[in-house]
Amino acid sequence: MGQRVRVAIVGLGFGAEFIPIYQRHPDAELVAICRRDRGGVDEVGDAFGIEKRYTSYEEVLADPDVDAIHINTPIPEHAQQSIAALRAGKHVACTVPMATSLEDCKAIIDAARTAGKNYMMMETVVYSREFLYAQELARSGALGRIQFLRGSHQQEMGGWPGYWEGLPPMHYATHAVSPLLTLAGHSAAAVSCVGSGRIDEALIGRYGSPFAIESAHLRLHDSDLAAEVTRSLFNTAREYRESFDVYGSLKSFEWEQTQDAGFVVFTGETPERVEIPDFADRLPEEIRSFTTHGVYDEENAHLSFVQGSGHGGSHPHLVHEFVSSIVEGRHAAIDEVTAANWTGVGIAAHESAMQQGAWVELPAYTLRHRGLAVQQRGR
């Protein structure tokens, strides 16, 4: 396409972190923002010099000047807003998770295919510098044969907006699931998960999920590999941690135990602390600086950005992949099928936990037969 991709951002808490990245991307134009309250949208619009300001999502959908919508709204709204945007002829980028039911995941896949538009789930971890480092180890053959993978995401969500309260831990599991499946190069085929502990009674009622921690084993499609995922959201003492470990026959990579303790690569039984490089050189020069700093200062940054240590510098990589996929006329790396599998793992895992660990199969429409490596794939 000859012109730049014209983007609207919907949801301006966490979503505002992406505004200047789109504004500076050479192939994008940030044309509109949307937030429910007029005062909030005007404050952000004034700060970033954005003229088009909507308080209605329907108005964004109807705007012919918008080619793509980046959705950063509360989890319960992701599926229906994604479907509506695709049906309106817009490309869609959506923060995680894709949906909270397998039926909605399938509906998004169908909507994307019918519309012929790109869908991309904006999963941060697989564009973090830590992941890109481990991916280089795997691609170079340094790990040898991958033997096992483990991921965990532990976070205290007390005090967050009300829709989080009592959320089943695995319904927000893509940060732990995505690096494992990408490094393995296979979809998840089935999940067995156990729940452990109990959250406050006041939290249980909203979703009917009692567990403080959910821990799952994943069986991978067309592979001899297994993986393990642990997730907690409430009433569990632990420093914030989004992590993954990958164990190979020659080398293994382990996430640091605590913030700034250092990442470790094992060669045989010998550990070595490693410095993780930045990968800004993979990006257009105009947006490289965003791998090392966010939009706001520490006092004003969104809590997820602060707790996640800047999400590993992933935001400009995500924007670049989404915009490039549209410009180049190909699927986004984390397209609707990949997103459905990563999201579906968590949905199936919670279902398994409620059935005392019974194995739950992932639907065939979430499976890929030739791997999931985050890369460019022609549409």
Structure tokens at 92: 């869609």
**According to the model, what pLDDT value does residue 222 have?**
95
249 by Cβ neighbours in 10 Å (0-12 / 13-18 / 19+) ranks as: exposed
* 264 in a structural domain: yes
How many whole angstroms separate alpha carbon 30 and alpha carbon 8?
Answer: 6
208 by Cβ neighbours in 10 Å (0-12 / 13-18 / 19+) ranks as: exposed
User: What backbone torsions phi and psi does residue 367 show, to the nearest 5 degrees?
Assistant: -95, 145
Q: What is the CATH classification number for the domain harbouring 139?
A: 3.30.360.10
**If DSSP states are collapsed to H, E and C, what string results for 95-116?**
CCCCCCCHHHHHHHHHHHHHHC
Residue 257 β-bridge partners: none
How many whole angstroms separate alpha carbon 374 and alpha carbon 372?
Answer: 6
**According to the model, what pLDDT value does residue 292 have?**
85
* 34 in a structural domain: no
Q: How many domains does the chain have?
A: 1
Strands 270-274 and 263-267: antiparallel
* 2 in a structural domain: no
Instruction: Kindly give the confidence (pLDDT) of every residue in the chain, 379 residues in length, as a single tens digit, with 9 standing for 90 and above.
Output: 458 999 999 999 889 999 999 999 999 999 999 999 999 999 999 999 999 999 999 999 999 999 999 999 999 999 999 999 999 999 999 999 999 999 999 999 999 999 999 999 999 999 999 999 999 999 999 999 999 999 999 999 988 888 999 999 999 999 999 999 999 999 999 999 999 999 999 999 999 999 999 999 999 999 999 999 999 999 999 999 999 999 999 999 999 999 899 999 999 999 999 999 999 999 999 999 999 865 544 555 544 444 444 688 999 999 999 999 999 999 999 999 999 999 999 999 999 999 999 999 999 999 985 444 444 333 3
Q: How many CA atoms lie within 13 A of 313 on its CB side?
A: 19
**According to the model, what pLDDT value does residue 117 have?**
98
Element (H, E) at 213: strand 213-220
CA 100 to chain centre: 14
**According to the model, what pLDDT value does residue 216 have?**
98
* 248 in a structural domain: yes
Boundaries of domain holding 241: 125-277+336-378
pTM of the model: 0.93
Which 3 state secondary structure label does DSSP give 362? coil
* 342 in a structural domain: yes
**According to the model, what pLDDT value does residue 1 have?**
45
* 37 in a structural domain: no
Q: Whole-angstrom distance between the N-terminal and C-terminal Cα of the chain? A: 15
Put the strands of the sheet holding 28-34 in their side by side order. Answer: 52-54, 28-34, 5-10, 68-71, 91-94, 119-121
Strands 146-154 and 119-121: unpaired
* 24 in a structural domain: no
* 370 in a structural domain: yes
